[in-house]
């Protein structure tokens, strides 16, 4: 699927809850391939402003090209776009308080990152153990796999991957070191913890997820965004957040509930919004997506 064909998960639902106002100021905290940003831009008009964050330089480059093409299409109706090539956890430092009409975040790994073998996010094609969203700095998956203490490795696989056989997997990884590729790591995990009856996912899925979340400090990034996001909104402004993992969704749910106790905020989603059956069939990744929304009164 090319960037032009790529359709983000829960796109219509996200736009509905974001309630884009022509001429407003909106943040796409997870630019990715620019799918959400393109849809927001079409509703904003020439007087609007879109601020787009992404710490992945490859994604930023592709999305900039996509939005440049959209500018050719929309002409004077294209909003101003401000690109922020950094983590969304820094939104509170980059944006003035009380200045936003809305902020959208779509957490987790993108389809582009999973599809490119050299990024090392997936075991479905062999590649180096990298997994960094920001390839310019930071610890790689290879460093975590080959240098982490066995007990700490088991703990992170259990905590972030919710993998019950984490100790067995960690022991097998340590015994097999050094490990250099995604396929090699997947084989080691599969041998140590083969599929159990009724399993619908590959036995390496949870461990890969855990390592990726650790490498990119994904939960820490979300916590930082949640601490500042509410203060960035104008009255009537909205936060819309899409999670793909129970730990992510719990952070959003708890933060929204806490903000909702303050009469300045209203939680718009008593239960998370999930993908319709048609979207789930078309895009299996959407099955785990949960959308929550909040409005500043």
Binding residue numbers: 34-36, 54, 88, 106, 113
Q: What angle do CA 149, 151, 157 make, to 5 degrees?
A: 100
Q: Measure Cα distances from 222 to 70, 89, 132 in Å.
A: 29, 7, 16
Binding residue numbers for S-adenosyl-L-methionine: 34-36, 54, 88, 106, 113
**Number of Cβ within a 10 Å radius of residue 201:** 9
Q: Which of 151, 172, 154, 174 is nearest to 164 (CA)?
A: 154
CA dihedral (57, 107, 48, 77) positive or negative: positive
Tokens read off for 48: 């609007």
């Amino acid at each position: 699927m090319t960037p032009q064909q790529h359709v983000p998960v829960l796109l219509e639902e996200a736009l509905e809850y974001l309630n884009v106002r022509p001429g407003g100021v909106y943040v796409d905290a997870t630019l990715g391939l620019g799918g959400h940003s393109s849809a927001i831009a079409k509703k904003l008009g020439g007087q609007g402003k879109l601020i787009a964050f992404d710490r992945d330089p490859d994604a930023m480059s592709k999305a900039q090209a996509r939005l440049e093409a959209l500018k050719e299409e929309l002409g004077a109706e294209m909003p101003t776009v401000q690109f922020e090539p950094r983590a969304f956890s820094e939104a509170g430092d980059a944006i003035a308080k009380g200045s936003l009409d809305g902020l959208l975040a779509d957490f987790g790994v993108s389809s582009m990152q999973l599809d490119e073998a050299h990024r090392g996010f997936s075991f479905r094609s062999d590649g180096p153990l990298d997994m960094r969203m920001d390839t310019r700095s930071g610890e790689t998956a290879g460093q975590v796999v080959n240098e982490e203490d066995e007990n700490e490795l088991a703990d992170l696989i259990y905590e972030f991957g919710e993998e019950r056989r984490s100790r067995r997997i960690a022991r097998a990884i340590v015994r097999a070191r050094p490990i250099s590729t995604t396929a090699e790591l997947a084989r080691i995990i599969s041998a140590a913890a083969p599929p159990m009856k009724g399993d619908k996912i590959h036995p390496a899925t949870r461990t890969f997820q855990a390592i990726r979340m650790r490498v990119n400090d994904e939960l820490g990034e979300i916590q930082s965004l949640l601490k500042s996001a509410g203060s960035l909104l104008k009255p009537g402004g909205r936060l819309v957040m899409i999670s793909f993992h129970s730990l992510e969704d719990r952070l959003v749910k708890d933060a929204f509930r806490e903000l909702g106790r303050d009469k300045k905020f209203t939680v718009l989603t008593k239960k998370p919004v999930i993908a319709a059956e048609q979207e789930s069939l078309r895009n299996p990744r959407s099955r785990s997506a949960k959308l929550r929304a909040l409005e500043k009164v």
